[in-house]
Structures are given as C-alpha cells and as structure tokens.
Structure 1
Amino acid sequence: MPSVTSDVVELILEDHRTMEELFRTMRNKEADRAGALKEFADLLIAHAEAEEEKVYPALRRYKNVDNEDVEHGVHEHDEGNRALLALLEVDDTASDVWEEKLEELVEAITHHTDEEERTLLNDARENMTDERRAEIGVLFVQARAEHLKTGPGRIENVRRVVKSA
C-alpha cells in the first residue's frame, strides 16, 4: 500500500518494515523465497541509492548531525550490498548455504536499520522542519522509483554496485 506521508523519516521507516516482512517470507521454507529475495533486492538497492543521493547529503548540511554517522551509514549500505550479493549467488533456496547467507544478510541489514533509526533518523527529526522532511521525502520517493524502474536487484547490477563501493 503506497504511503500517505511525504515525511522522509516515515518513508524510510516504512521501507525498513517492508524489508523485515520480506525477511520473514524468505525464512519460511514453504514461501516463494526466490520471489521475496527479488523484491527485497530491488527495494534494498533502490532504497540505499535514494538515501545516499537525496537524504544523506541533506543531513550533512546540519551542524547538529554527526557526519561520521552519515559516512557509517554509507559503509553499512556497502556491507548490506555485499551480503545481498552473497545470497543472490546461491541458487538453491532450500540449501543450508542459502540459509546461512540469508542470516548474514538479515544481520547486516537489521544492524544498519537499527542504528540508522537511532541516529540519523532522530537527527532528521530534531534538525529538519516538517516541511524540509516532506521536501526530502518527495525527492527520496522519486529517486527510489527511478532506481526501481531499472531492476536494481538484478545480480549483475548488485555486482556493479558492490564493485563501485
């Protein structure tokens, strides 16, 4: 269901909750794990690219925002992308290797989303006006949609993203 908010903080949180839901599906041996992984991969790459293009640069402009937190967020995106690639490279969704790589991905992404919610998103709440968060939210949604059009979770693209990090 599309969001009714344009607040960038709420939009990012919605993506995080969608990722958690997709993790639950991927952990379910009776579910369409490959389909959930495709949806997850597209969302993760599009989400991270849109954050790095539109949200993080806006946060860097505020003196009360720790730029090391922003840089750490970018680093954690890279870690998540590497974990995603490792899972995408496993063909058999019923294998022990797939389960292992899935848990590594869950750990990397959960760690990042938890930290981001406690640091950068709270920084955005404290330092940006509601209007500015809405402006950045519109830019974030547009950038994410543009990335989603390209099928960003395709293994070739994830390899390119990891290599360029």
Structure 2
Amino acid sequence: MDITQLILDDHHEQRRLFAILEQINRTDTDALSSIWDRLASFLELHAQAEEEIFYPALLHAGIAARRKGAVENEALDAIHDHNDIRDAVAAVAHHQVGTDDWYEAVASANLANSDHMAEEEREGLTEFRRLAGVPQRHELAVTFAAYEARHYTGVRPVDKDPLGYVRAAEKREPPANGSLGVGSLRQV
C-alpha cells in the first residue's frame, strides 16, 4: 500500500462520481442530490486527509532533501486549490438541483477539482515518490486510509490560509517512529 496510490484511487473515484452525475436524467433530482452529496462530502474528506497527512509529510521530506522551495510551492498551491474547490462546492448549494445553474455550478466544481488533481498528480505525488521510500509511503497510506475511515460520515469544510498552513506544518515534528527520517527518504 502506498499513500500516493491511495490518493490516485480517490482521484479516480472523484472523476467517476462526476461522470455519474453527467449521466443521470436532470429530472431525477433525488438521485442527483444523493450522488452530489456523496461527492461533495468525499471531496472535503479527501482534501482534509491530504492536509493532515500527505502535505506535512511532503514538506518534511522536501526540507530533509533540501528541496524546501519546491515542496512549499506545491503545498501552497494545493491548499489554495482546496479552498477553491470548497468554494465551488459551496456554490452548488445556492441552486436548485437539476437546473442549468446547478449543472453549471457542478461543472465549475469539477473544473476546479480536475485542475487540482492534474497538478497534484504531475507534481506533488511525483515529487513524494522521489523523496520518500516505500516503507514511509506504506505507513502514511495506513494513516490516510484510517483517517478517511474514521471520518466516513464527513468533515466540516474549513478554508485555510495557505502560507499559515505551510508554516504550521513545517513546525510540526515528524513522527518519532522515524517514518519521515532522512534515512528513509532515499529508499526506492
């Protein structure tokens, strides 16, 4: 198990749920509402799991590898993107399900999320696979999966100040078990 693969799996599920919405008849507002509610909740849970587990690990790994600037920029972009996705998801609630305006708001949320996922897949996940060894990625995957399982009923959306988030994450100590230790960073 690898945290980067779990994140990719979540991205696939997000894409799948957006695609399902596109295939439901607009008059079936119960189905549209149910799928959208699941997707909106999942988007937030995924973002918060990344913010709690993945991005702090990426920051610490990058600092240890003397790539602080690159990983800080990736984390800043990700938190900014998460805020944009939260705002787009919140905008959907202002429209009646199944209307043109609702579909347009859902499409905006899809675009914000798709842009974020593409950038994260190209940069953050790739960088982390270069910096972190398989044992660390496995350990983080267990933590990530457990976090999502514990919060399966959803989490409250909260925008974060990107710079404040990065500074706070950098100040947090890596786990004492050594999973973010320098020695494990170069393992392949």
Q: TM-score range by the shorter chain?
A: 0.7 to 0.9
How does 1:50-65 map onto structure 2 within 5 Å?
Answer: 50-61=49-60, 62=62, 63-64=66-67, 65=70
In structure 1, C-alpha distance between the alignment counterparts of 2:41 and 2:150, rounded to whole Å: 11
Equivalence for 2:45? 46
Question: Given residue 121 of structure 1, which amino acid in structure 2 is its aligned partner?
Answer: L
1:23 to 18, 21, 30: 18
Equivalence for 1:112? 116
Instruction: Output the TM-score relative to the length of structure 2.
Output: 0.75
What secondary structure is seen at the aligned counterpart in 1 of 2:98? coil
What is the CA distance between 1:130 and its match in structure 2? 0.6
In structure 2, C-alpha distance between the alignment counterparts of 1:69 and 1:141, rounded to whole Å: 22
1:124 maps onto 2:128 in alignment? yes
Q: C-alpha offsets along residues 63-101 of structure 1, whole Å, 9 cap, x if unaligned?
A: 3352111111011000001101111332x2220110110
What is the CA distance between 1:139 and its match in structure 2? 1.1
Equivalence for 2:32? 33
In structure 2, C-alpha distance between the alignment counterparts of 1:109 and 1:121, rounded to whole Å: 16
Question: Given residue 86 of structure 2, which amino acid in structure 1 is its aligned partner?
Answer: N
What is the CA distance between 1:19 and its match in structure 2? 0.3
Instruction: Output the TM-score relative to the length of structure 1.
Output: 0.85
Question: Given residue 97 of structure 1, which amino acid in structure 2 is its aligned partner?
Answer: D
Question: Given residue 75 of structure 2, which amino acid in structure 1 is its aligned partner?
Answer: V
Q: Check conservation: 1:27, 1:33, Cα contact below 8 A.
A: no
Q: Percent identity?
A: 28
Aligned residues: 151
What secondary structure is seen at the aligned counterpart in 2 of 1:117? helix
What secondary structure is seen at the aligned counterpart in 2 of 1:18? helix
Long gaps (5+) in structure 2: 162-188
How does 1:1-165 map onto structure 2 within 5 Å?
Answer: 6-30=1-25, 32-61=31-60, 62=62, 63-64=66-67, 65-90=70-95, 92-149=96-153, 151-152=154-155, 157-158=156-157, 161-162=158-159
Q: Check conservation: 1:69, 1:120, Cα contact below 8 A.
A: yes
User: RMSD of the alignment, in Å?
Assistant: 1.6
Name which structure has the greater RCO, CA cutoff 8 Å, separation 6+.
1
In structure 2, C-alpha distance between the alignment counterparts of 1:98 and 1:144, rounded to whole Å: 28
Equivalence for 2:174? none
In structure 2, C-alpha distance between the alignment counterparts of 1:71 and 1:146, rounded to whole Å: 26
In structure 1, C-alpha distance between the alignment counterparts of 2:6 and 2:93, rounded to whole Å: 26
